[in-house]
A and B are shown apart, each in its own frame.
Chain A
Amino acid sequence: MADVFSLYRVFAIGRKEFLQLKRDKITLAMIIGLPIVLLTLFGYAINTDPKNLNSAVLSRDNTEFTRSVITGLKNSGYFKIEKEITTDKEGKELLQSGKMQFVITIPDNFSRNLIRGDKPSILIEIDATDPVTIAGAASSLQGIIKSIIIRDLKGPVAHLRGELPAFDIEVQKLYNPEGLTHYNIVPGLIALILMITCIIMTALALTKERERGNMENLLSMPVQPIEVMMGKISPYIIIGYIQSIIILLMAKFLFHVPVLGSVALLMLLTLIFIICNLALGFAISTAAKNQTQALQMSMMTMIPSILLSGFAFPFYGMPLWAQGVGGCLPMTYFIRITRGIILKGNSFIEVWPHVWPLLIFMLVVTTFTVRIYKRTLD
């Protein structure tokens, strides 16, 4: 029967939604504001590159060189030299207890060996349980120490400058040797923001109509469930894209996150993720009785996504059951896709293992929703 599905009716509903959205200034503000606020928060206010980290120095070689290194570390702003210690044991205890995040050990005769050209080593031990916190400081350490020593290598020992490196820096990340860079946050944020907007928007789409009494009217018109669904989610696909573009532009120009992979590929796969979340939101909307309930149900799907998708914690560091739950969430796969494409320059073949679970999720949720959508008021 020709009347089972009509793209024209989908368009009619989509157009109506778009008009309503256009007049809903608060929602519009949220759509544009959410990515800007979240990115700014994660980028600046929630400092992923914190300064003044508690550090201890164990200096077995008290010379002008070593004192200069310690001063230089202080001046970098990253390190707050809380304590000068005298034994290895003390250093281990400070790291273990979490009082210090860095212990810097300068060995015996460092200066003499340096001048002799014996390439002495400085040992830096880092508490890496919170890798995001220490990442900035850790990566700056080598540079700081090198530049100080080079500066101090003058007069008779100036020739050592040319034979770099005149010394080694040995970094030991303790407790979480894998480590994550703070770049990880931005690709994750794309997923997070799209998820929040798409789920909440559509979760409210039907409940709002039900509460305002429009639903009875809509049901008395000759529209099919799939048409209502497609029509209602279509404007939000555009909105999802607007948000993605805002995030990517901010990431590139404000936070200087390199985008190594294909932006076109990222945008294509973003569409699948957007539809997954819109379908999920629509399912919530169909099941919920009112807007409050819809919001509660949205929270219940969003919180596991934030915690178990690899956004908040490293995925493979979670217990197996949590990995199992995370494996059912679209955000888990999309985070891998965005990180893969943005940070590693992955191609389609490389991200495919994360794409098909999204496609299956989309299909299952859509089918489920169309089946539970009631065409009567029973």
Chain B
Amino acid sequence: MNKTELAIDVKNLSKKFGNKVVVNHIDVQVPKGQIIGFLGPNGSGKTTTIRMICGLLTPTTGAGTCMGMDIRTKADEIRKKVGYMTQKFSFWEDLSIRENLEFVARVFGMDNIKERVDNALKNLGLAQRQEQLAGTLSGGWKQRLALAACILHEPEILLLDEPTAGVDPKARREFWDELRNLSEKGITILVSTHYMDEAERCHSIIYIAYGDIMVKGTVQEVIDSTKLVTYSISGDDIMGVMDKIKGNPEIVTMAPYGDQLRISGSDKYKLEHLLNKSTKDKITQAEPSLEDAFIFYMTKSAKEEENG
């Protein structure tokens, strides 16, 4: 597949609600068939961006295409090619699983409704529960229903807004296996998430904060871009060490993991100096994780926001 072929290509996209800038001149390019993770703190503009891409919100500035169709003028056609899974479960709780799927199939004007719904139920393991009302399902099943409904009309792009929030690890893993399957079939997926393990499963990620894109690229590129150094201290009194050096400007992230304390900073020399001064325990250098990178960017963006 031609790598330069873009499923989503929007430039200079902004959205203002009143005076509040929620999304600030961002560019999003998603190559066909890839899974792109959309990350960022709460309220950073992820949902708004996704809604603009699928035509649910009109951008204040910017333009672009979704499957080659203008997001401003071809919203109707885009709707047919896009499967959008909302953050909050938005299917009808007083309809059964089957009835929800049948409704979607009808609205999209599909033929062989019974057969297609049967297949969808089978593929996502919903067949046994098809008569159950959606409102009585647990989080994982609701999410599965929502995914089944989103892909029922065979969209070319999936826009998933925090699809796995509040879902248990097993269900999350199965969900991501399914996303991978879809991606293998050539479906492009833009998925927002707060989970690091999910971000690591994406082909590449986009990190957004306060409406600005802070960084994008593969997981390794994102981690490398921070130029963080990470150390791990193991000992009996890691909480004591933590208290001692807490708030020091050299520290970007610090968190205990079991009997280890992981500390990341931007300046290798100064950080080493600080740690050597504060503890007699063993200090070893470690690899910065994606989580460290995110906290780095969150802190950075918060500072930039404060300074205007």
Q: Which residues does A use to contact B, with CB under 8 Å? A: 3, 6, 8-9, 11-13, 15-16, 19-20, 23-24, 212-217, 219-223, 375-378
Q: Does B80 contact A (CB under 8 A)?
A: yes
Q: Does B37 contact A (CB under 8 A)?
A: no
Q: Does B291 contact A (CB under 8 A)?
A: no
Q: Tell me the complex Cα distance, A377–B22, Å.
A: 14
Interface pair B82/A12, CB less than 8 Å apart: no
Interface pair B94/A20, CB less than 8 Å apart: yes
Distance from A10 Cβ to chain B, minimum over Cβ atoms (Å): 10
Q: Does B92 contact A (CB under 8 A)?
A: yes
Chain B residues within 8 Å of A6, by CB: 109
| B residues 49-91 in Cβ contact with A at 8 Å | 51, 54-58, 75-76, 79-80, 82, 84, 86, 88-91
Q: Tell me the complex Cα distance, A201–B39, Å.
A: 41
Q: Tell me the complex Cα distance, A223–B104, Å.
A: 11
Chain B residues within 8 Å of A213, by CB: 86, 88-90
Among B51, B89, B94, B104, point to the contact of A24 (Cβ < 8 A): B94
Chain A residues within 8 Å of B89, by CB: 213
Interface pair B56/A223, CB less than 8 Å apart: no
Among B51, B57, B58, B79, point to the contact of A222 (Cβ < 8 A): B79
Nearest B-chain residue to A223, judged by Cβ: B107
Interface pair A23/B79, CB less than 8 Å apart: no
Interface pair A214/B75, CB less than 8 Å apart: no
Chain B residues within 8 Å of A377, by CB: 51, 56-57
The secondary-structure label for the interface of chain A is helix
Interface pair A220/B92, CB less than 8 Å apart: no
Among A12, A15, A376, point to the contact of B56 (Cβ < 8 A): A376
Nearest B-chain residue to A212, judged by Cβ: B93
Interface pair A16/B56, CB less than 8 Å apart: no
The secondary-structure label for the interface of chain B is loop
Among A11, A24, A217, A222, point to the contact of B76 (Cβ < 8 A): A222
Interface pair B90/A214, CB less than 8 Å apart: yes
Q: Does B99 contact A (CB under 8 A)?
A: yes
Chain A residues within 8 Å of B75, by CB: 375
23 contacts between A and B (CB under 8 A): A12-B103, A12-B106, A15-B106, A16-B92, A16-B103, A19-B99, A20-B94, A212-B90, A213-B86, A213-B89, A214-B92, A215-B90, A216-B86, A216-B88, A217-B91, A220-B54, A220-B56, A221-B104, A222-B108, A375-B75, A376-B58, A377-B57, A378-B57
Given A6-B109, A20-B92, does the pair A376, B99 have CB atoms closer than 8 Å?
no
Chain A residues within 8 Å of B56, by CB: 216, 219-220, 376-377
| B residues 124-162 in Cβ contact with A at 8 Å | 133
Distance from A223 Cβ to chain B, minimum over Cβ atoms (Å): 6
**B interface residues, how many (CB within 8 angstroms):** 29
Chain B residues within 8 Å of A214, by CB: 90-92
Chain B residues within 8 Å of A222, by CB: 76, 79-80, 107-108
Among B76, B103, B104, B133, point to the contact of A3 (Cβ < 8 A): B76
Distance from A234 Cβ to chain B, minimum over Cβ atoms (Å): 14
Q: Tell me the complex Cα distance, A219–B55, Å.
A: 9
Nearest B-chain residue to A1, judged by Cβ: B76
Chain A residues within 8 Å of B107, by CB: 9, 12-13, 221-223
Distance from B2 Cβ to chain A, minimum over Cβ atoms (Å): 28
Chain B residues within 8 Å of A378, by CB: 57-58
Distance from A331 Cβ to chain B, minimum over Cβ atoms (Å): 31
Interface pair A8/B109, CB less than 8 Å apart: yes
Distance from B81 Cβ to chain A, minimum over Cβ atoms (Å): 10
Q: Tell me the complex Cα distance, A9–B153, Å.
A: 14
Q: List 8 additional contacts besides A8-B106, A12-B107, A221-B79; criterion CB under 8 Å.
A: A9-B109, A212-B90, A214-B92, A216-B56, A216-B90, A222-B79, A222-B107, A377-B51
Interface pair A221/B57, CB less than 8 Å apart: no
Distance from A23 Cβ to chain B, minimum over Cβ atoms (Å): 5
Interface pair A16/B79, CB less than 8 Å apart: no
Interface string of B15-57 (1 = CB under 8 A from A): 0000000000000000000000000000000000001001111
Residue from A23, A215, A219, A377 having most chain B Cβ neighbours under 10 A: A219
Q: Tell me the complex Cα distance, A221–B76, Å.
A: 8
Q: Does B95 contact A (CB under 8 A)?
A: yes
Interface pair B55/A16, CB less than 8 Å apart: no
Chain A residues within 8 Å of B79, by CB: 220-222
Distance from A310 Cβ to chain B, minimum over Cβ atoms (Å): 39
Q: Tell me the complex Cα distance, A213–B58, Å.
A: 19
Residue from B56, B91, B107 having most chain A Cβ neighbours under 10 A: B107
Interface pair B82/A9, CB less than 8 Å apart: no
Interface pair B90/A217, CB less than 8 Å apart: yes
Chain B residues within 8 Å of A8, by CB: 106, 109
Chain A residues within 8 Å of B106, by CB: 8-9, 11-12, 15
Q: Tell me the complex Cα distance, A6–B76, Å.
A: 14
Q: Tell me the complex Cα distance, A205–B54, Å.
A: 24
Q: Tell me the complex Cα distance, A217–B103, Å.
A: 12
Nearest B-chain residue to A16, judged by Cβ: B103
Distance from B186 Cβ to chain A, minimum over Cβ atoms (Å): 21
